Chains A and B, each alone.
Chain A
């Protein structure tokens, strides 16, 4: 592999930049690293903290375990202590670090002992390192302690050396990404002295410890291991540094490892081993799992998940590839990624068949891999106890009933053939049996077919091939035929079941594609967030058979804690706080995860392109397979995307409304301020003139009348505004009373005497006009505004017509003028607020007609504007009214 190639890899450079950026916002992690307990990690950490404190840093203790060691306890003095939080675990109180209190307190540095510690059930995270991650995310620096045996990649080696299995492990990447690692080192002799002096444990435990764990050989090995790790780390840092600064130099290696894993426990060993190898080689490492379409049993699935998680914890990049041919998939991937070493685990020998196919697998891998090295790891003697549960060979997933049915078929065919053998001859029987086996292969798996092939071969041999009723075969050609029969039956069966499996896989894929397509289509049609929720809940139930609850954020980007409709799920207080956490950190939590695994639900974040949308909670019956998981993620991303679009649309709509009301406000402001200023200016000016000098009577009267006109105008504006605000507040309810339409017309024309002087007014009211039941005041205003509007748009001397009549349940008012009318395009906006015709005389606000509309609509009526045939505007008001029979009353009282 070309070394300089790797150095200029832009992806890697980018990754390092991103990492750098992320780190600068995060808190810094400093690990005090030791080979085992008792070397003085906590002590050193506290000492360092004291030194930092003297420099002025704000340091608090989040969690420190003194193990009753006197020197350590003394050092704790002088630091602020965050009180521990108590959890009830099986009615025993367990004390844990109070994560929220630390984050709330937000010091510069917090001391957190024992990074690999496992939290009590009920805590937010399973592991303390996850707590620490969260603290770091909040920009707080952390000092912590760690022993070498807790490192995931080393835990197995430690177990091999010391015989003690370490349960509390820490993903390597946490260690690798630490900003600083300080080794707390002690020679084995010094440690043993400390132990025997009782400085580590009390005397009794010390003796026990020295005999078991703290043997000199062990300590030496652990010490070497820890120093080695730190040395590797320094190397890697140098490498990173050079890469970051583009320093040309000798690169440690151009090696690139690829571990192929499967769903066996063996794979955990492969992963750890490969990780260690990559440490010492200083190489890149990746893992790959090939999904062949083989149906995994729940156990296998669980193991596969464990393997994948382990890879993640070890900081190994992981990929899943779907391909029927494992060898081809591995080799293709290796070539694409410039892999130099492929690592596979050796399966434990189960039976001849597996051995055979495995041998074939290795042969093919070696043949196809070309210049790539292939490492094959020996099987692990320690995991033999798992042998039984592992026995279920991948393909043998068919159940007992199927074996039974197969046997029945073979037996039946044999019986029929036996009866017919005298007519057809024993050789033909072999074809009949072969035919049946081939047919069966279409419906059953490899296992049953293997049985069918074997069974039919034996039956043929025993019952048909002469000499009958013995397994002995006389003729050599019959032996040949039996062998061929068996092989053909077997091949046929296996090939067919393989095709079936492939088909199955394709079918599942098709189903998923179809489901996604359906979802996308339904979501496209959805309008509004509620709709999206309904579709999401329904489709998830349909395609995943899962009940789910969706919790979305509100406008202020906070979670609403309100489950979207159509869900039967009720979440407890605790679960809702998990939801909160998931939303905030946009990573999943709950069952089958590391965070808050003690609930019944698994919570997935709904993440849009730019923002978190909400959280979806589901109650898994069984954990997802990798394929299902991918499908699920695709589903969620579709749903989140739609939600995000809906949220954006809502925001846009709100912005639009806001914008509109802003515009309205501005128009109002502009219009009103102008309309107010003009009459006020006239009044001020005229009265000022009148006050300052004495003018002839004639001038005075002119000025007086100007003041008068201005005040009338001002008054009209105020009336309009008041009416408008009444309308806007929705407080208008017409007070219906009987009204004489003549009265109405008289009143309005009388009030508008002055304005109507230059026009010819024709009022037409039918003789038999009945009384109408309306709000006199409101309709008076309507008529007033319509006539005033006509006077403002008509040429002097022209005629204005007013028609009032009753027609078929409607009281109709028509006002016609000979003005310019309206451009067709503006007809619809005539009644809008602040609409003003182009030729309007000064003095209007554009409110009059919208008040007309409002008052008419308060009567459930309609007002329309149109143009007259020979020019001019026509306003028609139609109000549904009750009428009274005028004659009846007159008779009654006359």
Chain B
């Protein structure tokens, strides 16, 4: 199929669509465009694109509703690209199943990086026994991590946290999601646990804990591994 590797852009602003079309085409992606939520859903169903870039402020419907409908059947990455920049909106979009969120204005370089990460993640089969990030290697099967080939002492909670973030490399995980996954449903409000453990993890895995490269903070939203 010719459109197998295409990216669907759902945005009502012609100028943004044109900018994305130019940028993405130049980077070897095939592009299809929709200016309304309805058209977006139709095109997504008929083309089954590898990734969808979705605007939240669409003329006919709210982007979040479109995302919800998409997620009923569409498994591949969705990146939200919107002028809405409140933490609430972002967290909600991520909870609804968006893989990433970028606010306008955005840097095209950043967008391309996120697209790459998202596509790669969706294609990688997640049962790799070890994950490698530069000098850090995480052995998922044995629940161990090594830095510069030296074993790092990690508590089980620390390892679970590190493993969760590492498996979702490049993707923003919200505080609530992490707390639920690592500590359990009853702890989704206990952000201070998370802060403490992230700070401890940084001391153990980062080259310079003051300038973290692996455990990145997304202000008011959550954490993103690597990238």
Please determine whether A711 and B105 come into contact, CB atoms closer than 8 angstroms.
Answer: yes
Is B26 among interface residues, defined by CB-CB distance under 8 A?
no
Q: Which residues of B contact A207 (CB under 8 A)?
A: none
**Number of B residues with CB within 8 Å of any CB on chain A:** 20
Q: Which residues of B contact A889 (CB under 8 A)?
A: 192-193, 196
Known: A743-B217, A777-B219. A893 touches B105 (CB 8 A): no
Q: Which residues of A contact B200 (CB under 8 A)?
A: 890
Please determine whether A777 and B220 come into contact, CB atoms closer than 8 angstroms.
Answer: yes
Minimum CB distance partner of A708 in chain B: B107
0/1 interface trace, chain B 126-144, chain A, CB 8 Å (1 if under): 0000000000000000000
Residue among B157, B195, B212 with the highest chain A CB neighbour number at 10 A: B195
Is A224 among interface residues, defined by CB-CB distance under 8 A?
no
Q: Which residues of A contact B197 (CB under 8 A)?
A: 893
Q: CA separation between A541 and B157, bound complex, in Å? A: 81
Minimum CB distance partner of B209 in chain A: A742
Please determine whether B196 and A737 come into contact, CB atoms closer than 8 angstroms.
Answer: no
0/1 interface trace, chain B 202-227, chain A, CB 8 Å (1 if under): 00000001111000010110000000
Q: CA separation between A780 and B219, bound complex, in Å? A: 8
Q: CA separation between A775 and B20, bound complex, in Å? A: 34
Q: Give the residues from 840 to 894 in chain A that come closer than 8 angstroms, CB to CB, to chain B.
A: 884, 886, 889-890, 893-894
Q: CA separation between A777 and B220, bound complex, in Å? A: 6
Known: A746-B211, A894-B155. A739 touches B87 (CB 8 A): no
Please determine whether B199 and A738 come into contact, CB atoms closer than 8 angstroms.
Answer: no
Q: Give the residues from 55 to 79 in chain B that come closer than 8 angstroms, CB to CB, to chain A.
A: none
Please determine whether B195 and A747 come into contact, CB atoms closer than 8 angstroms.
Answer: no
Smallest Cβ distance from B90 to chain A, in angstroms? 11
Is B191 among interface residues, defined by CB-CB distance under 8 A?
yes
Minimum CB distance partner of A778 in chain B: B220
Q: Which residues of B contact A894 (CB under 8 A)?
A: 155
Known: A777-B220, A889-B192. A742 touches B157 (CB 8 A): no
Please determine whether A740 and B199 come into contact, CB atoms closer than 8 angstroms.
Answer: yes
Is A715 among interface residues, defined by CB-CB distance under 8 A?
yes
The listed residue (A747, A763, A890, A893) touching B217 by CB distance below 8 A is A747
Minimum CB distance partner of B88 in chain A: A735
The listed residue (A737, A771, A884) touching B220 by CB distance below 8 A is A737
Q: Which residues of A contact B192 (CB under 8 A)?
A: 738, 771, 884, 889
Is B164 among interface residues, defined by CB-CB distance under 8 A?
no
Is A32 among interface residues, defined by CB-CB distance under 8 A?
no
Is A604 among interface residues, defined by CB-CB distance under 8 A?
no
Q: Which residues of A contact B220 (CB under 8 A)?
A: 735, 737, 775-777
Q: Which residues of A contact B211 (CB under 8 A)?
A: 746, 750
Please determine whether B87 and A777 come into contact, CB atoms closer than 8 angstroms.
Answer: yes
Q: CA separation between A738 and B196, bound complex, in Å? A: 10
Q: Which residues of B contact A738 (CB under 8 A)?
A: 191-192, 195
Smallest Cβ distance from A314 to chain B, in angstroms? 82
Q: CA separation between A750 and B197, bound complex, in Å? A: 22
Known: A742-B199, A746-B212, A893-B155. A776 touches B219 (CB 8 A): yes
- How many residue pairs link A and B with beta carbons under 8 A? The number is 52
Is B198 among interface residues, defined by CB-CB distance under 8 A?
yes
Q: Which residues of A contact B195 (CB under 8 A)?
A: 738-740, 743, 771
Q: CA separation between A747 and B219, bound complex, in Å? A: 8
Smallest Cβ distance from B75 to chain A, in angstroms? 32
Q: CA separation between A739 and B105, bound complex, in Å? A: 27
Smallest Cβ distance from A778 to chain B, in angstroms? 9
Q: Which residues of B contact A715 (CB under 8 A)?
A: 105
Known: A715-B105, A740-B199. A893 touches B193 (CB 8 A): yes
Smallest Cβ distance from B109 to chain A, in angstroms? 11
Q: CA separation between A777 and B209, bound complex, in Å? A: 21
Please determine whether A742 and B155 come into contact, CB atoms closer than 8 angstroms.
Answer: no
Q: Which residues of A contact B212 (CB under 8 A)?
A: 746
Q: CA separation between A890 and B87, bound complex, in Å? A: 28
Minimum CB distance partner of B107 in chain A: A708
0/1 interface trace, chain B 145-168, chain A, CB 8 Å (1 if under): 000000000010100000000000
Q: CA separation between A884 and B155, bound complex, in Å? A: 21
Q: CA separation between A775 and B191, bound complex, in Å? A: 13
Smallest Cβ distance from A747 to chain B, in angstroms? 6
Minimum CB distance partner of A777 in chain B: B220
Q: Which residues of B contact A711 (CB under 8 A)?
A: 105
Q: CA separation between A747 and B220, bound complex, in Å? A: 11
Q: CA separation between A746 and B210, bound complex, in Å? A: 7
Q: CA separation between A872 and B200, bound complex, in Å? A: 36
Q: CA separation between A743 and B222, bound complex, in Å? A: 12
Q: CA separation between A780 and B155, bound complex, in Å? A: 31
Minimum CB distance partner of B218 in chain A: A747
Minimum CB distance partner of B87 in chain A: A777
0/1 interface trace, chain B 73-115, chain A, CB 8 Å (1 if under): 0000000000000010000000000000000010000000000
Q: CA separation between A737 and B105, bound complex, in Å? A: 27
Q: Which residues of B contact A747 (CB under 8 A)?
A: 217, 219
Minimum CB distance partner of B197 in chain A: A893
Please determine whether A886 and B196 come into contact, CB atoms closer than 8 angstroms.
Answer: yes
Q: Which residues of B contact A890 (CB under 8 A)?
A: 196, 200
The listed residue (B157, B209, B219) touching A893 by CB distance below 8 A is B157
0/1 interface trace, chain A 655-687, chain B, CB 8 Å (1 if under): 000000000000000000000000000000000
Q: CA separation between A750 and B219, bound complex, in Å? A: 12
The listed residue (B105, B193, B210, B219) touching A742 by CB distance below 8 A is B210
Minimum CB distance partner of A887 in chain B: B196
Q: CA separation between A893 and B192, bound complex, in Å? A: 12
Please determine whether B87 and A740 come into contact, CB atoms closer than 8 angstroms.
Answer: no
Known: A746-B210, A747-B217, A776-B219. A740 touches B191 (CB 8 A): no
Smallest Cβ distance from B162 to chain A, in angstroms? 14
Q: CA separation between A771 and B157, bound complex, in Å? A: 20
Smallest Cβ distance from B143 to chain A, in angstroms? 16
Q: Which residues of A contact B155 (CB under 8 A)?
A: 893-894
Minimum CB distance partner of B217 in chain A: A743
Minimum CB distance partner of B189 in chain A: A737
Smallest Cβ distance from A489 to chain B, in angstroms? 102
Smallest Cβ distance from A776 to chain B, in angstroms? 5
Please determine whether B191 and A737 come into contact, CB atoms closer than 8 angstroms.
Answer: yes
Minimum CB distance partner of B86 in chain A: A777
Minimum CB distance partner of B202 in chain A: A742
Q: CA separation between A738 and B193, bound complex, in Å? A: 9
Q: Which residues of B contact A777 (CB under 8 A)?
A: 87, 219-220
Q: CA separation between A893 and B219, bound complex, in Å? A: 25
Smallest Cβ distance from B101 to chain A, in angstroms? 14
Q: Which residues of A contact B157 (CB under 8 A)?
A: 893
Q: CA separation between A705 and B126, bound complex, in Å? A: 40
Q: Which residues of B contact A771 (CB under 8 A)?
A: 192, 195-196
Q: Which residues of B contact A743 (CB under 8 A)?
A: 195, 198-199, 217
Q: CA separation between A735 and B91, bound complex, in Å? A: 14
Q: CA separation between A740 and B199, bound complex, in Å? A: 8
Smallest Cβ distance from B204 to chain A, in angstroms? 12
Known: A746-B211, A777-B219, A894-B155. A735 touches B199 (CB 8 A): no
Q: Give the residues from 158 to 198 in chain B that come closer than 8 angstroms, CB to CB, to chain A.
A: 191-193, 195-198
Q: Which residues of A contact B198 (CB under 8 A)?
A: 740, 743
Smallest Cβ distance from A794 to chain B, in angstroms? 22
Q: CA separation between A739 and B212, bound complex, in Å? A: 16
Supply 23 A–B pairs (Cβ within 8 Å), ascending by A.
Answer: A735-B87, A735-B220, A738-B191, A739-B195, A740-B195, A740-B198, A742-B209, A743-B199, A746-B210, A746-B211, A746-B217, A747-B219, A750-B211, A771-B195, A771-B196, A775-B220, A777-B219, A884-B192, A889-B196, A890-B196, A893-B155, A893-B157, A893-B193
Beyond the given pairs A735-B87, A777-B219, 6 more chain A to chain B contacts, judged by CB atoms under 8 angstroms and listed by A's residue number, are: A738-B192, A742-B199, A746-B211, A777-B220, A886-B199, A890-B200
Chain B residues engaging chain A, CB cutoff 8 angstroms: 87, 105, 155, 157, 191-193, 195-200, 209-212, 217, 219-220
Chain A residues engaging chain B, CB cutoff 8 angstroms: 711, 715, 735, 737-740, 742-743, 746-747, 750, 763, 771, 775-777, 780, 884, 886, 889-890, 893-894
Ranked nearest first, the 8 interchain pairs of A and B with the lowest CB-CB distance are: A738-B192, A777-B220, A740-B195, A743-B217, A884-B192, A738-B191, A889-B196, A776-B220
